[in-house]
Amino acid sequence: MSGLPNPLLYGVPARPAEVKKRLALASDWRLPTATEQAAFKAHRHLSGLADALIAAADVDGESWILLERDWAGYPDPPRFAFLAYRPDGSTICEADLDDPSPLWRLPAGVPFQFSKEV
């Protein structure tokens, strides 16, 4: 359920208790705005973490973002990166995820589902 990758392969996320708390919260996500997409592309750290900002959420005064990588799977990092920020912009927690939490209500089409056909 947690979506957290194998810690033996990827290590333990920074502030794991904070990450797990947010993974356990049912939350409504939305598509990022054009302004948020532009900020993601211009951000040195975030744009280096993943290829796309796919969803954003505002939960209890926090800003959450979900990023997706085109390149994923061991030895590369997992497919998703999750980050939560305080209203002042400081980071609460950050984690790589194999899958988004099933409790998160993501917008239609997010994440993109690959066809299982060969």
Domain ranges within the chain, ordered by starting residue: 7-103
Between the alpha carbon of residue 86 and those of residues 12, 59, 83, the distances in Å are 21, 10, 10
Long-range contacts of 78-83 (CB under 8 A, 24+ apart): 78/5, 78/10, 79/111, 80/3, 80/50, 80/111, 81/49, 81/50, 82/19, 82/22, 82/23, 83/46
Q: Quick one: which H or E segment has residue 58?
A: strand 52-59
Q: What is the pLDDT along the chain (118 residues), one digit of tens a residue?
A: 457 666 655 666 778 899 999 999 999 999 999 999 999 999 988 888 899 999 999 999 999 999 999 888 878 889 999 999 999 989 999 999 999 999 999 998 887 665 455 4
